Structure 1
Amino acid sequence: MIRQNLLVTPKYALLNLEEIQVPEGKSKVEISVPEAKGLKLVKSRQSLTWLLRYGYEGKKESKVLGKYPDISLEDAIHLTLRYQAQLAKGINPFAEMQKQAAMPTLKEFFEKHYFPHAKQNKKSWKDDQSRFTNHLQETLGAVKIDQISPAMLTDTLAQVKESGCINATVNRTRALLSSILKMAFDRELIGQNPMMRVKKYVEKNQIERYLSEDELKRLMPILANPKAYGIENQIIIGIVEMLLLTGARKGEVLHLKWADLDLSNHLWKLNENKSGKPRIIQLNTEAQRIVRGMSRKHEYVFANPETGQPFNDIRKTFQKILNAADIQNFRIHDLHHNFASMAVNNGCDIYVVQHLLGHASPTTTQRYAHLQQDTLRNASELLANRINRARPDQAI
């Protein structure tokens, strides 16, 4: 290769650029540009290419900047000056560009790294998938994961809230984002988790719904004789009774297998609960009666007789039960709350209720431990009576 000097005007207009000739017997010629250290124009018989020669960490390197005329001389000089300034600070701009080009977007990282991990390790992976699709993909999916800022996260969560979601849903979305970004931090794609600077939304964790004594009295006749109220599915009736009597979660009852039961010792062995830990549910007499009334034809105790598998949805029949009992604004999961409330109001210690429900912490149990007014009034009267017994006799 033959190297020559290139004459340049003050406005960076090449003189006789098209007339530069490649010498006979050579494949190309390399011409230096005085205005920018290391900038070369390499002319072959087919093309003109901008090349930057530079030193980094004691090694000589080179980088093709692009073709002429796609990149003008003025642009090539500006690029070179910018790159040389970074090199002078000990930064390799081309390594940084390569790193940035390989940096995944939030959507790419979710699909390639986070979601496969969640699918293997989380029972709630479908919830993660749904939250990402519904709340995050459109707003943050195309953003490079190292470019996500606390302000972006705050704005995204505000949009989730404005879409009509309650604070708890916003916080679950926040938790998903935090988990994704923590994994990115662990993989050294980002320097810190920006979610650490984004506050949670305030949640009202107190129980809002449980069965009153009157509602319970209206409910039990329907469960005892559902056909009299036009309800034919006895298996779903059994599921509702099981939820009411054990405080178990809907998914746990729906997926109860005969192999999980030790009826001789009145035990239901759960391999794992919501937190992923095994636990045992003590089956009371009524729960045992319900289980023994189910067919053993299928693997699941409360199997759909048409498929042999758990029911996909029991809400339609559950609503018929509520309508027959004239019970309003009551969800299936409220039966879980109701069990805790009834246990506490009937004198069960919070520690006992914690283990009945399979909670890892009594703090979680406390959320469901709604005390009825009669319980509070009786406790207050009890204390007042003890105080009064200590009073001296009043003189008449």
Structure 2
Amino acid sequence: MSKLTKRLVDSLVAEPKERIYWDDELGGFGIRIYPTGRKVYIAQYRANGRTRRKNIGQHGVMTAEEARKEAKFIHADVARGADPSADRKARLRSPTVMELGERFITDHVQLHLKPTTQTDYINMLRKKIYPALGSIKVFEITFNDVAAFHLKLRDTPYQANRCVMLMSKMFNLAEDWGYRPMNTNPTKRLKKYPEAEKKRYLDEVEQEKLGETMAQMLTDGKISRYVFAAFYLLLLTGCRLSEIQKLKWDYVTRTHLELPDSKTGRRRIPLPREARQLLASLEQRDDNPYVIIGDHATGYYNDLQKPWRKIRSRAGLEDVRLHDLRHTYASVAVMNGIDPFMLKEILGHKNLSTTLRYAHLSDDAVQKAAGQIANRLSNTLGRLN
């Protein structure tokens, strides 16, 4: 076959079977003629060890020279590692972001993540991501789409960053599931918004004020013994709220809280003497397995945030969250010289870096100790001038 030109292609006639004529000047460029007489320019190439063909366009709609130029572009893309034919098939069968999200929920989130994380992810998908991006094909979504979505949430930087983090995982799985080419995650290189880290913890004066307030409210009947115990246990153990709120008597041993499941999996939490005494003061009911009993006969105290708001308001600690009680435990530990590796195990952190966020607090303890040493030495040595 010679070079494909308009005159040559016009002269080719259909046969009972489909036939391809190849250009002798540009390898992998040809014309496919169907028995119906329809003529379509094609490009043939090899990708991933397989021979593939991609339709370029119909003769008559485009010229032979236009098709030749397009074939060169296709071959150039292949040389850079692309697979145009496979990409087209992927584009045609690509689900929408909403369809991907629903598979992400059933095939990943519900199988591998904790219930609270499942709820967070599902809410982010259905309330934030779907309304903005849900109708776009997964194959077609771009970095600019994600960046524009991220920008719209700039007034809530923590939420904006969490949504992008979720999408990053989701689009990694989209590649694994064959919905996008590998290494094309559209969230890559997106710069996260800075987040103001909340490190509120109670100093000794505030701790004393909180203790007095809770004791008075217990005496006045403003909070129950179980609510009182819940907040004290948070401070005495450094546990997460859910770990105390949903604590069962079956998990309580003489020396530890043996949690079969938590945010970071199975946990064994040391139970100090003060915490054991507090637990011993609580009534155990045969019909209720939970330690912190709520309003329902067989359940736990469902909303500890409500009594906490009353307590912190009366104590003048309006900016203190329940999670800050855990921060307080960690700060006291660091300022008293507890080794970070040991504290990591006590708090149940997955990574040491999380524990080391409190490391700067040890500077206060070191400074105080250095001052005590210098004071003793100066008393012994006498006046310095």
* Same fold? TM cut 0.5: yes
The yes-or-no answer on 1:194 pairing with 2:177 is no
For residues 323-338 of structure 1, what are the structure 2 equivalents within 5 Å? Answer: 323-338=313-328
Alpha carbons of structure 1 residues 259 and 230: separation in structure 2 relative to 1, 3 Å: closer
CA contact (8 A) 2:251 2:258 kept: yes
Determine which of 262, 269, 291 is the counterpart of 1:273: 262
Deviation at 1:306, TM superposition (A): 1.2
Tell me how far apart the structure 2 counterparts of residues 254 and 157 of structure 1 sit (CA, whole Å): 34
Tell me how far apart the structure 1 counterparts of residues 168 and 90 of structure 2 sit (CA, whole Å): 23
CA contact (8 A) 1:210 1:341 kept: yes
Tell me how far apart the structure 2 counterparts of residues 256 and 340 of structure 1 sit (CA, whole Å): 21
Determine which of 236, 240, 246 is the counterpart of 1:249: 240
The aligned amino acid for 2:284 is S
Deviation at 1:307, TM superposition (A): 4.8
- CA deviations on 1:25-71 (whole Å, 9 max, x unpaired) are xxxxxxxxxxx9657796xxxxxxx9556778699x999x9xxxxxx
Determine which of 293, 305, 310 is the counterpart of 1:315: 305
Alpha carbons of structure 1 residues 145 and 316: separation in structure 2 relative to 1, 3 Å: same
CA contact (8 A) 2:32 2:42 kept: no
CA contact (8 A) 1:37 1:80 kept: no
The yes-or-no answer on 1:184 pairing with 2:174 is yes
Tell me how far apart the structure 2 counterparts of residues 332 and 254 of structure 1 sit (CA, whole Å): 12
Deviation at 1:190, TM superposition (A): 2.6
Tell me how far apart the structure 2 counterparts of residues 242 and 253 of structure 1 sit (CA, whole Å): 7
The yes-or-no answer on 1:159 pairing with 2:147 is no
For residues 191-270 of structure 1, what are the structure 2 equivalents within 5 Å? Answer: 191-192=182-183, 193-205=185-197, 207=199, 209-263=200-254, 266-270=255-259
Tell me how far apart the structure 1 counterparts of residues 347 and 124 of structure 2 sit (CA, whole Å): 27
Q: 2:129 maps to what in 1?
A: 136
Deviation at 1:182, TM superposition (A): 1.2
Structure 2 SS opposite 1:281: strand
CA contact (8 A) 2:237 2:275 kept: yes
CA contact (8 A) 2:218 2:228 kept: no
Deviation at 1:375, TM superposition (A): 3.4
Tell me how far apart the structure 2 counterparts of residues 389 and 79 of structure 1 sit (CA, whole Å): 98
Alpha carbons of structure 1 residues 390 and 286: separation in structure 2 relative to 1, 3 Å: closer
Tell me how far apart the structure 1 counterparts of residues 42 and 145 of structure 2 sit (CA, whole Å): 38
The aligned amino acid for 1:203 is E
The yes-or-no answer on 1:287 pairing with 2:278 is no
Tell me how far apart the structure 2 counterparts of residues 309 and 79 of structure 1 sit (CA, whole Å): 73
Alpha carbons of structure 1 residues 134 and 62: separation in structure 2 relative to 1, 3 Å: closer
Larger Rg: 1
Q: 1:28 maps to what in 2?
A: none
Structure 2 SS opposite 1:112: helix
The yes-or-no answer on 1:302 pairing with 2:292 is yes
Q: 1:172 maps to what in 2?
A: 162
For residues 9-88 of structure 1, what are the structure 2 equivalents within 5 Å? Answer: 77-78=60-61
- CA deviations on 1:133-184 (whole Å, 9 max, x unpaired) are 23322222222222222222222212111xx31x333322221111111111
CA contact (8 A) 2:54 2:85 kept: no
Aligned length: 339
Greater shift, 192-201 or 374-383, is seen at 374-383
Alpha carbons of structure 1 residues 174 and 389: separation in structure 2 relative to 1, 3 Å: farther
Alpha carbons of structure 1 residues 386 and 77: separation in structure 2 relative to 1, 3 Å: farther
- CA deviations on 1:223-260 (whole Å, 9 max, x unpaired) are 33434445143222221111111110011111212222
The percentage of aligned residue pairs carrying the same residue is 27
- Give the TM-score of the pair, scaled to structure 1: 0.72
Q: CA RMSD in A?
A: 3.9
CA contact (8 A) 1:53 1:62 kept: no
Tell me how far apart the structure 2 counterparts of residues 127 and 352 of structure 1 sit (CA, whole Å): 30
Tell me how far apart the structure 1 counterparts of residues 359 and 106 of structure 2 sit (CA, whole Å): 35
Q: 2:140 maps to what in 1?
A: 147
Deviation at 1:194, TM superposition (A): 2.9
Structure 2 unaligned residues grouped into runs of 5+: 1-29, 46-50
Deviation at 1:384, TM superposition (A): 4.0
Q: 2:13 maps to what in 1?
A: none
Alpha carbons of structure 1 residues 62 and 317: separation in structure 2 relative to 1, 3 Å: closer
Deviation at 1:206, TM superposition (A): 6.0
Q: 1:353 maps to what in 2?
A: 343
Structure 2 SS opposite 1:145: coil
Alpha carbons of structure 1 residues 87 and 217: separation in structure 2 relative to 1, 3 Å: same
Q: 1:112 maps to what in 2?
A: 103
Tell me how far apart the structure 2 counterparts of residues 258 and 243 of structure 1 sit (CA, whole Å): 16
